[in-house]
A and B are shown apart, each in its own frame.
Chain A
Amino acid sequence: MKNNKNTFRLGVLTLALAAGCAQAADETVIEQSFQPYAKNKPSFAGLSAGMTINQGNVAQFKDILDPAFYGFIEKGWAELKVGETTSFDLHPNYVEATRQGMDKIQLGAKPGEIKGWVAGRPFPQEPDVNDPRAGEKLAWNYKYGYNWGDSAAIQPFYWKFRDMNSGKVERTIKFNFHFLNFTGRVNQDPKPAITPNPSDLFRGIYVNVLEPHDVRNTQLLIHRAQDDLKRDNSWLYLGFQRRVRRLATGQVTDAFLGSDLMIEDFEGYNGRISDMKWTYKGTRFMLMPFYNHNDLSLDSETHKDSEGYQVVAFGGQGGCFPNITWQLRKVYEVEAAPVDAGHPLAKRVHYMDAQTFTVPRTISYDRKGSLWKTFTIGQAHPDHHLPVNKGSGVSIDDSFSMIDVQAMHCTSGQFKGVVDAKLSPPEMFSVQHMRATGN
């Protein structure tokens, strides 16, 4: 009997220890996923904050640059200013949601299927090269990332179409963009989901074009379903027609309003996970466009407002490169090959930032396998941006450049990103809102 009692006690102790070890292990996973620079900051021989990488010294840094940007610097099209590696802490509620979801989330049988996710990062564990679905898990981490938080607005948002040879700005489109997560909400009420939500939507994107005149009053509404296998529902309000049209959303590879971006390119990747075959290629330390917006020399011409906010300036070849600083960061390299053989791309190579799971660099290859486009999304620290963004825990998309190297053409983006729930209320993401506000 005594032996039995001891056996029982030993068992309980073992279980408790095992549970404690598991908890500790989970916490380590969380820590490593969200605080990769807590213990050590990455370094690279010869690299220091404040230096400039240019045509003269770029060869030295080939290992920490993606091949496309290396080529740009090598040709003298761009220079890269190096900044200090800094931590972009995501909001603690998002981290806590990740903690709550640990080990409860699984991929489904087919790509695009996931089970058990409520909120937070679904797969915070380090990717395993031996896991055939590691790339897909990273894609889910991106999709369910804290990209713009629960809701945010970019207002305004300037897109400039540029001839990369002459530097001529052919067209400037001024938008307002609004984002709202219907599910996976961790910070803004209601949490974790907005209800009722009869079509089980995951996210809404609402776009309003302010300028120029020929596209003014164009509004775009995208409803993305929680079910990744379902296509988006989209509606377009055309100012010159004064009515809402439902859009066929299959052609996400169409150039958006004539820019160098496909709709599928938005935010790094704006399609279904099931549309791609995802392959994890490895973890690297690379120079990535992360910076403090308020520390930059900004563009004083494009945008002026009563807050004194200015947008990121552009320079380099054709004015296609944001004048920002780059920092050495932990990156997951993920390859996404379209499932559809008719897709114009052979593949995209995404460089996902390990801490924020944003996709600040992407290289696209055409069907022949030649470099076609490269996408840079500058990430600004929320605590060094607009006062309203301080403490939001959102890595602010703050500048972008999509370069079509074959056409020698680019589209640049200059943001005023605002993380403020008041700017993106749920009623804005309804079809009727477009009718009610259109003129």
Chain B
Amino acid sequence: MQTTTRTNLRNLGFAMLGGTGVALMPLASALAEEETRYTGFYENATHVRDSAGLSKFRNTLQLNADRALEDRGAFRNIKFHGTFRGSYDGVYDLNSSEYGSGAGGAITLENSAAGNSVPHGGGLQLPYTFDPANNPNEGMLVLGERLHKTRGGVAFGVPVRPCDKDSRGCIDDYLDADSNDLRFPEFNERLDFIRELYMDFDHDLPNGDMVSWRVGKQQVIWGRTDLFRVLDVINPVDYSRNNIYDELEDIRIPMWIAKADWRMGAGEVFDDLNLSFVWNFDKFRPHNLGQCGTPNSILDAACFFRGMNNLWENGGTVANFAGASPAGGVATDFGPGQIGIRKAHMPSWSLSNTQFGIKLEGVYGDLGFSLNALTYRSQLPSLRGGVPGQNGFTGEVAPWPSLIAFDIHFPRVNLLGGSLDYYSQAIDTVFRFEVAHTSGEEFANTLQSRLFSESDVTRYVIGADKNVFIPFLNPGRAFLISGQLFGQHIHEHQEEKRAWGKAGMPDWEQNWIATLLFKGWWMNDRLSPQLLAAHDFRARATAIAPSVEYLFNDNLRIIAGANVKVGRGAREYDDCRSCNPWDPFTSAGQPEGYTLGLGGYEPLGRFRAGPIGMAQKEDELQLTLRYSF
């Protein structure tokens, strides 16, 4: 029955696609009739990072093509749009010792029980250990070393060179970029140089309403929030370009989507009412978290993953592990297939793996609103334990409880949410509200034997925008002041105090991030300085990004800025060294699979430090030059 249903759904999907294709055929034939309008830009973005030197030398060429077509039968407002983007980031050639083929080197790992450090491969050998010939001590960094010292915690070597130079730890189909993938990120098997390619058309309904279609590779944006993605979750995001700091328009990863807006317009009650259907029929793509060894790896997650996959594939030395207690531990050599990340389960294309959303949006006087529902695949990875691993002492392969051996999954997530905006005449301020409640998200959890658990999550943003004249600064142009408070609440949050520290879910049960934008304009808007700041309350980390934009003319724009982080950096959390998976060999007296909460910065502290805290050592000066045509 299930198979039949799936087959029918698949056929329906193909039928819809086919129908769309048929509908577009006469339109496509009309393309030659009218002129295409081309626009575009060349941009150079050069960033210099404290202690690392050049961190970006990205040269982007983008071409946009637009063509409006004459009405065809029942179809009108027919338009075609394409955006094509190619970029070359020279940082991998110009600063290859930091980010390219020459990055990394030989490492030593802390061995706190002896009060020293040992080279990779020089730890305590388990009966089933690894062969350093398969995992040599070269081209590596110690996990997290750019942000913090090991300080008695877990650490291991992380290969940092592009995957064609060093394939260790490269996870197939997920984090496996070679040198050219990094240099030329759009030229890949997903044809990312075709950034957008879609057709718009409208047709009327018998009752006078109209339906607006957009079909093709596109970005679909929900919500009313800047910087944060509460409802704006349809497209995954490429954080490798500039962490969380680039405009979302430039870092959303466009997907092949069919969108239909049933535009009911004004009625007796609402000034505008619209029902939108979104079908993302593209093959699943996760966020691009960056790759270990590249300048932008949000949360440094890619290094964690690469190091863990290397441990699984080749084995390796882990700092302060054997006999670990608050007093210290012994650097330990694990064999392959014992701990680490085994593989990533990338969802293949199937109808059931496509994503579907509905949005009802309208305007009621001074109030705008939307109600949103979306079923999608999490674009963030979930590490699920329970992977059968080899007992380093006995050689037995089994799914040991609380063993730090994972597969990466992208679970199905269902979202319900809504948004509001309201203009208060009394104080001349616009308020924005956005909320999303999801089910199906998964979080690391050291209290669970598979080291993860599922939880409902509520995220929300309250924002206010106000234009204010400050006459002594600029009598003719108001300043924009925009503030937002983003909150996240994990409903099934678990945490316990154990003998050696807290254990459970490293993510905060509740956390808030506030942002403030202060922007002004001078010289007829050709000079525009701004200050953008974000503060993560629980991580106690702040990012401050002042910048000045100057337009030389209609074509040439320069933006000079800085990105500085202050506050607390790395945070500590239970690292599961005291989880006792291989009882009795790993026991400190606790039962099998029971953590005592011994922790350090790695690997789970990153979820408490957040993207700002984890980037504390990534202060930058940034210069962007764009020539538009």
CB-contacts of B288-334 with A (<8 A)? none
Contact A233 B554 (CB under 8 A): no
Report Cα–Cα, A239/B249, bound state, in Å.
9
Contact B272 A431 (CB under 8 A): yes
Stretch of A37-45, A67-75, A249-257, A381-389 with 4 or more beta carbons under 8 angstroms from chain B: A249-257
What is the minimal beta-carbon distance from A117 to any residue of chain B, in angstroms? 22
Report Cα–Cα, A189/B430, bound state, in Å.
35
Whether A9 is near chain B, meaning CB under 8 Å from some CB there, is no
State whether A212 and B555 are in contact (beta carbons under 8 Å apart), knowing that A240-B247, A250-B467, A431-B272 are contacts in the complex. Answer: yes
Partner of A436, one of B212, B365, B430, B432: B212
Stretch of A86-94, A136-144, A192-200 with 4 or more beta carbons under 8 angstroms from chain B: A192-200
Per-residue CB contact flags for chain A residues 163-183 toward chain B (1 = under 8 Å, else 0) read 000000011100000000000
| Most B Cβ at <10 Å: residue of A172, A196, A201, A258 | A258
Whether A10 is near chain B, meaning CB under 8 Å from some CB there, is no
What is the minimal beta-carbon distance from A227 to any residue of chain B, in angstroms? 11
Stretch of B142-150, B259-267, B499-507 with 4 or more beta carbons under 8 angstroms from chain A: B259-267
Contact B425 A247 (CB under 8 A): no
For residue B266, which residues in chain A have a CB less than 8 angstroms away from its CB? 196-198, 426, 430
Contact A259 B555 (CB under 8 A): no
State whether A432 and B430 are in contact (beta carbons under 8 Å apart), knowing that A196-B266, A198-B268, A198-B269 are contacts in the complex. Answer: no
Report Cα–Cα, A409/B525, bound state, in Å.
13
What is the minimal beta-carbon distance from B230 to any residue of chain A, in angstroms? 12
Which residue of chain A lies nearest to B464 when distances are taken between CB atoms in the complex? A248
Which residue of chain A lies nearest to B521 when distances are taken between CB atoms in the complex? A258
Whether A5 is near chain B, meaning CB under 8 Å from some CB there, is no
Stretch of B15-23, B475-483, B529-537 with 4 or more beta carbons under 8 angstroms from chain A: B475-483
What is the minimal beta-carbon distance from B511 to any residue of chain A, in angstroms? 25
Report Cα–Cα, A248/B482, bound state, in Å.
11
Contact B249 A240 (CB under 8 A): yes
Per-residue CB contact flags for chain A residues 319-354 toward chain B (1 = under 8 Å, else 0) read 000000000000000000000001010000000000
Whether B205 is near chain A, meaning CB under 8 Å from some CB there, is no
Report Cα–Cα, A212/B364, bound state, in Å.
33
Report Cα–Cα, A197/B551, bound state, in Å.
42
Partner of B524, one of A161, A198, A432, A439: A161
For residue B368, which residues in chain A have a CB less than 8 angstroms away from its CB? 235, 244, 246, 431
State whether A211 and B430 are in contact (beta carbons under 8 Å apart), knowing that A196-B267, A430-B263, A439-B81 are contacts in the complex. Answer: no
For residue A255, which residues in chain B have a CB less than 8 angstroms away from its CB? 476-477, 521, 524-525
Partner of B554, one of A172, A430, A435: A172
Contact B628 A213 (CB under 8 A): yes
Which residue of chain A lies nearest to B628 when distances are taken between CB atoms in the complex? A213
Interface size on B (CB < 8 Å)?
Answer: 68
For residue B524, which residues in chain A have a CB less than 8 angstroms away from its CB? 161, 170-171, 255, 258-260, 409
Partner of B263, one of A198, A223, A259, A432: A432
| Most B Cβ at <10 Å: residue of A216, A223, A431, A435 | A435
For residue A432, which residues in chain B have a CB less than 8 angstroms away from its CB? 212, 261, 263, 265, 272, 274, 361
For residue B138, which residues in chain A have a CB less than 8 angstroms away from its CB? none
What is the minimal beta-carbon distance from B329 to any residue of chain A, in angstroms? 49
Whether A231 is near chain B, meaning CB under 8 Å from some CB there, is yes
CB-contacts of A179-231 with B (<8 A)? 196-199, 201, 211-214, 216, 223, 230-231
Whether B526 is near chain A, meaning CB under 8 Å from some CB there, is yes
Whether B363 is near chain A, meaning CB under 8 Å from some CB there, is yes
Whether B210 is near chain A, meaning CB under 8 Å from some CB there, is yes
Whether A437 is near chain B, meaning CB under 8 Å from some CB there, is yes
State whether A243 and B221 are in contact (beta carbons under 8 Å apart), knowing that A213-B628, A431-B368 are contacts in the complex. Answer: yes
CB-contacts of B73-93 with A (<8 A)? 77, 79, 81
Contact A199 B271 (CB under 8 A): yes
Whether B495 is near chain A, meaning CB under 8 Å from some CB there, is no
Whether B219 is near chain A, meaning CB under 8 Å from some CB there, is yes
Which residue of chain B lies nearest to A343 when distances are taken between CB atoms in the complex? B469
Contact A427 B554 (CB under 8 A): no
For residue B554, which residues in chain A have a CB less than 8 angstroms away from its CB? 171-172, 211-213
Report Cα–Cα, A427/B466, bound state, in Å.
28
For residue B475, which residues in chain A have a CB less than 8 angstroms away from its CB? 344
Whether A115 is near chain B, meaning CB under 8 Å from some CB there, is no
Whether B287 is near chain A, meaning CB under 8 Å from some CB there, is no
For residue A248, which residues in chain B have a CB less than 8 angstroms away from its CB? 423, 428-430, 465-467
Which residue of chain A lies nearest to B40 when distances are taken between CB atoms in the complex? A213
Which residue of chain B lies nearest to A232 when distances are taken between CB atoms in the complex? B423
Per-residue CB contact flags for chain B residues 419-446 toward chain A (1 = under 8 Å, else 0) read 0011101001110100000000000000
State whether A245 and B224 are in contact (beta carbons under 8 Å apart), knowing that A197-B266, A198-B270, A213-B41 are contacts in the complex. Answer: yes
Contact B466 A246 (CB under 8 A): no
What is the minimal beta-carbon distance from A199 to any residue of chain B, in angstroms? 5
For residue B196, which residues in chain A have a CB less than 8 angstroms away from its CB? 439
State whether A223 and B521 are in contact (beta carbons under 8 Å apart), knowing that A246-B430, A436-B200 are contacts in the complex. Answer: no
Report Cα–Cα, A267/B459, bound state, in Å.
44
| Most B Cβ at <10 Å: residue of A161, A201, A249, A436 | A436
Q: List 19 A-B contacts (CB under 8 A).
A: A161-B524, A171-B551, A198-B271, A199-B271, A223-B271, A241-B248, A243-B223, A243-B232, A245-B421, A247-B430, A251-B428, A254-B469, A255-B476, A255-B477, A258-B524, A258-B526, A344-B475, A426-B265, A432-B361
Which B positions have Cβ atoms within 8 angstroms of A?
Answer: 39, 41, 66, 77, 79, 81, 196, 200, 202, 210, 212, 214, 219, 221, 223-224, 226, 232, 247-249, 261, 263, 265-272, 274, 361, 363-366, 368, 421-423, 425, 428-430, 432, 465-469, 471, 475-478, 521, 523-526, 551, 553-555, 557, 628-629
- Given contact pairs A198-B266, A254-B478, enumerate 17 new A-B contacts (beta carbons under 8 Å): A171-B554, A198-B270, A198-B365, A213-B39, A213-B41, A214-B557, A241-B249, A242-B249, A246-B423, A246-B430, A248-B428, A250-B425, A251-B468, A255-B476, A258-B521, A260-B524, A431-B368
